[in-house]
Structure 1
Amino acid sequence: MTDVTLTKKVPAEWEKQQCVLMSFPHEGTDWAESSLNEALTPFIRIAQAIAYKEAVYIICQDKSNISSMFCSTRNMTFIEIPTNDTWVRDYGYISIKQDDKKKLLDFTFDGWGGKFEASLDNSVNSALHQKGYMGITPLEKIDFVLEGGSIESDGEGTILTTTKCLCNPNRNGGLSKKELEKKLANYLGAQRVLWLDHGYLAGDDTDSHIDTLVRFVNKKTIAYVKCDDKEDEHYEALQKMEKQLKDFVTTEGKPYTLIPLPMCEVKYNKEGNRLPATYANFLITNDALIYPTYSDKHDQKAGEIFKALFPDREVIPVNCLKLIEQGGSLHCSTMQVAY
């Protein structure tokens, strides 16, 4: 717990958004190893789902080529900026409100601890800002590694994250929880940090990003991946994660309402490696809840859970089986910019 007053905060995802950023596959990304057109399909469908009622800014290599793939480009803006990869959740702006005014933070992105080349991705925010797409909203560049998928905010000063990612020596040299809490208080206005010490997904390159495991639905409700299969390799870690979630309390000191999401059936790539399929990787927009499906027997159940959780939003499924071949899913491929 810190003594920081809430003059600075990270808006919750369900708060008003200006737009959603996306970054599309091209020949210079790992997607080129498979059929690029096949890889583009889920990105197109996600963009269409967002653009139905909200602006989406699509970062791409050739805007004429990409725009021609859409039947309608309403609410879509195509922006040519070089990129290494498509996971804009982790290198896109992190929006904050400071004294009720919006500010964009440009943290350092190092390819999830130096696993992949990321110099172009790390330059996207500056390029986008220089092109004027964020208007007069101030941008602050920060010499500190922090990925958007590694944090969850309730919009009231609580940051939810994982020890395995933020405390990892491959980010910022391996700072302690106490040191990181001071950084999160300074940069994000975090009044408290809820640390998850357990939980992972096989095939995940992010060192257990929170948005693959546990998500705030509102300030009193948390959705999380639950594993009931004792034979599944994730069973023990996710059981420990669930136990820890039950010990967390809201800012009012009450237990969170916990909503379990089903564990997907095991998915493998062509090499026989398990893929990180997760329903926790959903996106909340101004008028919709867009969630990933995986041609899985649990897809419908997940949809029913989301309809109950978001009765005032349209619930839209998008098949993301192709996305997890490169280690990410729906939420990973998007980043909202606060209003």
Structure 2
Amino acid sequence: MRHFLPSDPSPHDLGFTMPAEWAPHAATWMSWPADDDLWFGRLSGVRAEFAELVRTIARFEPVQLLVRDPESEQDARARLAGADVTFHAVALDDVWLRDNGPIFVQRGQEIALVNWRFNAWGGKFHWQNDDRVPEYVAQVLNAGHWDRPEILEGGGLEVNGRGVGLTTRSCFLTETRNPGLDEARYGALLQQTLGVRQLLWLGGGLENDHTDGHIDTITRFTDEQTIVTSVEPNPADPNHAVMQANLEALREMRDQDGQPFRIAELPLPAERLEGAEGRLPPTYANFYIGNGFVVVPQYGDPHDEQALAVLRPLFPGRELIGLSSREIIGGGGSFHCVTQQQPAGSIWTGQDRP
């Protein structure tokens, strides 16, 4: 296993790029919820929804599950008995592995990873243990990897596997992440590290999203040319103007071939949800795409079925599964936020054969 530093050849230099989420997976990586205080006294309900999510994913592909202490492992093993799950005892702060985990890159059938820094969305929570997770994954897999000094969360970037990426200014351009990195510098960085040749920018995300507006809570690729984006029809809702501006911007954008994207509008939940720290950011866009399935958060909301009806034709050949995320959203995220895909392929140790 070889570490690459910023002064070494980049993933782009060696032919690696970040594949789309719908490419075949070897596994899904997740972390088990453990801290009742972080979940405002609702840990039991959160774990019940997590167990249903893990069991669903494990029907289609192996799950690699990080557990932070003996109690967490005992609880997870009891709830997940018989599922295709491998347990890893790892020190953790929280469960949002999309953001603190590695981002995998691929070259042909070879897989490596990029280890970005993580600071809990600008220092909002504890992060020191979670920041070490990519190095642990690299050691377990014996994977060659690049250690980057920049802060970057997986939920802040969407890619279509053809060199196009989507992000938000409200997230990437905060001073608490990478001061001094502007849009042009981010574009160059993501081209060299993840193969994103064309980085497209939306303005912002949902109200009271502690990630500062991750793209994966509002706007997602469903194939190389199709984007589904959240809309809020109520002009009195603070999300309305932001989502409408995003929709109008997307209609003007072009794909890798210079063609307009196909845009599908996805409703936000009809009912306003309140948590311990104010308004929650429930969304149907935080779905997770796996081998033969898509799992979509549901909230017991009047728009639940409408959201599934919008998404179902966008994923032909995959089983669309709605699962409850009413408890998980209390922590500020949902299914995409707690998962990270490992693409299918052989692990590249960092050494090329002569």
For structure 1, the 5+ residue unaligned runs are none
Q: Report the secondary structure of 1:234's partner residue.
A: helix
CA shift for structure 1 position 203: 2.4
Contact 1:199 1:240 survives alignment (8 Å): no
Match in the other structure for 2:102: 93
TM norm structure 1: 0.93
- Which amino acid in the other structure matches residue 121 of structure 2? W
> CA-to-partner distance for each residue in 1:12-48, whole Å, 9 max, x for gaps?
00001111111111137612x3132112011111101
Selected match of 1:312 from 314, 317, 320: 317
Deviates more, 1:269-278 or 1:199-208: 269-278
Structure 1 partner of 2:188 = 182
Cα distance in 2, alignment partners of residues 251 and 172 from structure 1: 27
TM-score (norm 2): 0.89
Displacement of 1:72:
2.2
Aligned residue number for residue 46 of structure 1: 53
Question: Given the alignment of the two structures, is residue 147 of structure 1 paired with residue 141 of structure 2, yes or no?
Answer: no
Aligned to 1:192: 198
For residues 185 and 303 of structure 2, the distance between their equivalents in structure 1, rounded to whole angstroms, comes to: 40
Counterpart residue number, 1:112:
121
CA distance in 2 between counterparts of 1:89 and 1:156 reads: 21
Aligned-partner SS, 2:238: coil
User: How far apart are 1:151 and its partner, in Å?
Assistant: 0.3
Indicate yes or no: 2:233 matched with 1:228. yes
Q: Does 2:172 correspond to 1:166?
A: yes
**What percentage of aligned pairs have identical amino acids?**
32
- Map Cα deviations across residues 122-155 of structure 1 (whole Å, 9 max, x no partner): 011212333x2x2x33122211100000000111
Quick check: 1:28–1:84 contact (8 Å CA) kept in 2?
no
For residues 294 and 262 of structure 2, what CA distance do their matches in structure 1 show? 19
2:28 maps to which residue? 20
Partners in 1 of 2:307 and 2:64 — Cα distance? Answer: 28
Q: What corresponds to 2:242 in structure 1?
A: 237
Superimposed CA distance per residue, residues 212-265 of structure 1 (whole angstroms, 9 cap, x where no aligned partner): 010000011000101111121111111111100000111111111101101212
Question: What whole-Å deviation, never above 9, does each CA across 1:51-82 have from its counterpart, x for those lacking one?
Answer: 00201111112323311112422x21111111
For the 8 Å contact 2:16–2:106, the answer to whether it is kept is yes
Work out the CA distance in 2 between the residues paired with 1:246 and 1:142. Answer: 33
Unaligned 5+ residue runs, structure 2? 1-11, 345-354
Task: Kindly tell me the number of residue pairs found equivalent between the two proteins.
Answer: 330
Q: Deviations over 1:138-182 (max 9, x none)?
A: 122211100000000111111111111111111111411111111
**Structure 1 residues 270 and 309, CA, compared in 2 at 3 Å: closer, same or farther?**
closer
Q: Deviations over 1:266-296 (max 9, x none)?
A: 3333557211010100000011010000110
How far off its partner does 1:195 sit? 1.0
The root-mean-square deviation of aligned C-alpha atoms, in Å, is 1.7
Distance change in 2, residues 1:29/1:17 (3 Å): farther
Structure 1 residues 146 and 194 mapped into 2: Cα distance closer, same or farther (>3 Å)? same
1:277-316 correspondence to structure 2 within 5 Å: 277-316=282-321
Q: Quick one: which amino acid aligns to residue 159 of structure 2?
A: S
